[in-house]
Amino acid sequence: MKQNGSTEAVMEEKSRKDFESVARDWIKNMEETWASEHESRVRRSLENWVFPWIGAKVANEIHAADLLSVARRIEEAGRLETAHRVVSVCGQVFRYAIACGKAYRDPSQDLRGALKPYRSKPRAAITSKARLAEVLCAIDGYAGNFQTRLALRLLPLVFVRPKELRLMEWAEVDLDAGLWSIPGPKMKMRLPHVVPLARQAIRILQEIKPLSGSSEEVGFVFPGVRDKGQPLSNMTLNAALQRLGFDTQDEITSHGFRTVASTFLHELGFPPDAIELQLAHRIGGVRGVYMRSQYLDQRKAMMQAWADFLDSIKSSNRAAV
């Protein structure tokens, strides 16, 4: 009986060191610093591609060949980018296991050069002033759903991530101050973000407020087409661009307006730090905290100048027609 108890204890200790247990513990440890969408994507990739084959193995007994077998299975499914991403995630799990004393080395390091090469494709974005003007004029003439049209018109003016725009709530918006304050949990980097609103952006928000706003200042600014208690669907903005005739694979996506803004703002001579801060890219340490405060006035001026620039190229485009 005593021997059985000892065996069970060994098995229990072994199970706590299996790769799946370690990986789930790592996810739990990291989830407070991740956006929920990222956490879900990482967890699903492990559940779909890794756990069924090596999840039950003790982390310290997994070798490079085991991990390569996992990667080859993903490659055979035609998912080269996923194969590289999954191996990278596994490497992070192994490094966490090493720190916790549940593994001695990271076998993913031995797969360098073993995977089929994958060249990431940059998000579609327009870098021609004339073509950008055509896109903006087409958006102004969008004949589809009202809130979709206004969301599309606002997106180039604020160049946030599409998800952040879709989840925009009236409680975050101060039209009098011309500021949109996004809470940290909604941001990719989990840090609060302030978006100065140009006069053109404020007019768009005033236009949609009778539809989605209220005296209590609650609710989504851009509610769903069928359910006002939900935000616009994550496919809505790209679908609208496709409906306007744009190729969202190779030309422009809703996310691509971030690249558009970054490209032109640099060309227009605005301070790189102000641009990076407005894109909500992470600038760490005390410098980052200081800069977020220091550059707010500059960012307000930059966002108004950006909105005026977009108006000017649209006017030029219409005059040339």
What does the pLDDT look like over 282-295, one tens digit per residue? 665 545 555 555 67
| pTM of the predicted protein model | 0.66
> Which residues are CB-neighbours of 139 under 8 A, at least 6 positions away?
149, 152, 153, 156, 244
Write out the residue limits of the CATH 1.10.443.10 domain(s) in the chain.
129-320
Q: Which of 255, 295, 299, 314 is catalytic?
A: 255
Q: Which of 102, 149, 153, 161 is catalytic?
A: 161
Write out the residue limits of the CATH 1.10.150.130 domain(s) in the chain.
2-111
The pLDDT of residue 318: 76
Distance of CA 248 to the CA centre of its chain: 17
Opening angle at CA 39, ends 37 and 45, nearest 5? 100
Per-residue pLDDT tens over the stretch 97-115:
999 999 999 999 999 889 8
Q: Is 166 a catalytic residue?
A: no
Opening angle at CA 239, ends 164 and 153, nearest 5? 55
Helices and strands (H and E) in the chain: how many: 15, 3
Q: Which of 72, 131, 188, 292 is catalytic?
A: 188
- Return the bridge partners of 223, or none: 231
Q: Is 266 a catalytic residue?
A: no
Q: 128 exposed, middle or buried (CB, 10 Å; 0-12, 13-18, 19+)? A: exposed
Q: Which of 95, 281, 292, 300 is catalytic?
A: 281
Altogether, the residues listed in the chain come to a count of 321
CA gap 97, 29 in Å, rounded: 12
Q: For residue 236, give both structure tokens.
A: 């809505």
Q: Is 161 a catalytic residue?
A: yes
Q: Which of 258, 295, 299, 314 is catalytic?
A: 258
pLDDT band at 79 (very low <50, low <70, confident <90, very high): confident
The pLDDT of residue 16: 66
Q: What share of the chain is helix, strand, coil (3-state, %, to 5)?
A: 65, 5, 30
Q: Which of 14, 44, 243, 290 is catalytic?
A: 290
Per-residue pLDDT tens over the stretch 131-177:
899 999 999 999 989 999 999 999 999 999 999 999 999 999 999 99
Can you say whether the dihedral through the CA atoms of 136, 188, 285, 23 is positive or negative? negative
> Which residues are CB-neighbours of 62 under 8 A, at least 6 positions away?
19, 54, 94, 107
Q: What is the mean pLDDT of the chain?
A: 85
The pLDDT of residue 283: 60
CATH superfamily entry for domain 129-320: Intergrase catalytic core (1.10.443.10)
Query: Where on the phi/psi map is residue 114: left (φ > 0), alpha (ψ -120 to 50), or beta?
Result: alpha
CA gap 282, 147 in Å, rounded: 31
Q: For residue 192, give both structure tokens.
A: 């609060």
The pLDDT of residue 197: 97
The domain defined by 2-111 folds into DNA polymerase; domain 1 (1.10.150)
The pLDDT of residue 222: 92
Q: Is 149 a catalytic residue?
A: no
Q: Which of 245, 243, 234, 248 is nearest to 123 (CA)?
A: 248
Long-range pairs for 225-229: beta carbons < 8 A, 24 or more residues apart: 225/145, 225/147, 225/148
Matching residue, tokens 């209590």? 216
For the cut 70, the answer to whether the pLDDT of residue 216 exceeds it is: no
Which phi and psi (to 5°) does residue 14 adopt?
-65, -40
